Copies of this chain bind each other. A is one copy, B any other.
Amino acid sequence: MFGKKKVKPLKIGLVGLGKIAVDQHIPSIRANPALELVAGCSPNARPDGVTAYDSLEDMLAAHPEIEAVAICTPPQIRHKIARQVIAAGKHVFLEKPPAATLGEAEAIADLARAKGVTVLASWHSRYAPAVETTREWIAGRKIKSIHVVWKENVRQWHPGQKWIFEAGGMGVFDPGINSLSILTRIVPEKVIVKKADLHIPVNCEAPIQVEMDLTTESGVAIRADYDFLQTGIQTWSIFVESEKGEKLELSMGGTGLSIDGKEIMKEKEAEYPGLYAHFEKLVRASQSDADFSPLRIVADAMLLGKRIDAPEYIE
């Protein structure tokens, strides 16, 4: 009688059973006793041990007990699926980016609000281990400048992802939006794009390299350099300098942290368990987390960016 009240686990269905579902979503849900993976759906993928259906309709019909749905499809179809999920009265977990456009993302948030269900626009990089420490470090200081350096080899990390260079595929912003999700978390003010150089291969439609100047409302200068053709050392770092000259480096996508050259943290990546814990809390509290600012920054960069021809890209 005096024991802790046992809460039934939140019953989850997955839409899309590809690489990100298998690598991250399925193990993260299974590792969290407050969650239960009921089933998944995909037109073809059949991962081991998951009750799988051909379509969302089939999955929901077979499992009316599903309370929440995580959408792990490509972004182009997320809006359509989210509409069906919300119409069925289920909570929604959106992989990043939340939708193909800001308009779609806002429409999903509006629908969820109207139906009274939770929506999480997830940004996995915000759950990297050193992000919160960096946020607190910045909060305690006057900041002089920030430099984002996100340089990776598209051939190594995105083989066969042809859509990434198509219209709407975002190009180097596909990984780059992760850095923007961290940036908009660690900086307490709004981040505004002032200038962007978009290098677009002559045979592609999305940028392969980008240099951006941004600023905060109070005038902190932010520079961001993205390169999708980086060979040798790969870099996913954010450098912050305070007005007193203190220097912080958040490295390896948020798993490493050094301050004034001294290593403070070097941990294994563990983002999705944190994301799912956040989602479960939101649902229990009947709240949503629908921050679209990283996508807004990419849209603004595409709106005012200068397009520069880059050499042909051949995978």
Q: Report A's interface with B, CB cutoff 8 A.
A: 79, 100-104, 106-107, 110-111, 167-168, 190-193, 200, 205, 217, 296-300, 302-307
Contact = CB atoms under 8 A, between A and B. Distances in A.
**Copies of this polypeptide in the complex:** 2
Contacts of A299: 102, 296, 299-300, 302-303
A192 B192 CA distance: 23
A304 B168 contact: yes
B191 A296 contact: no
Given A192-B79, A303-B302, A304-B167, A297 B103 contact: yes
Given A107-B217, A111-B217, A303 B101 contact: yes
Contacts of A298: 303
B168 A107 contact: no
A103 B300 CA distance: 7
28 contacts: A79-B192, A100-B304, A101-B192, A101-B193, A101-B304, A102-B102, A102-B299, A103-B190, A103-B192, A103-B193, A103-B296, A103-B297, A104-B192, A107-B192, A107-B217, A111-B217, A167-B304, A167-B307, A168-B304, A205-B306, A296-B299, A298-B303, A299-B299, A299-B300, A299-B302, A299-B303, A302-B302, A303-B303
Nearest to A305: B167
A306 B106 contact: no
Nearest to A169: B304
B307 A205 contact: yes
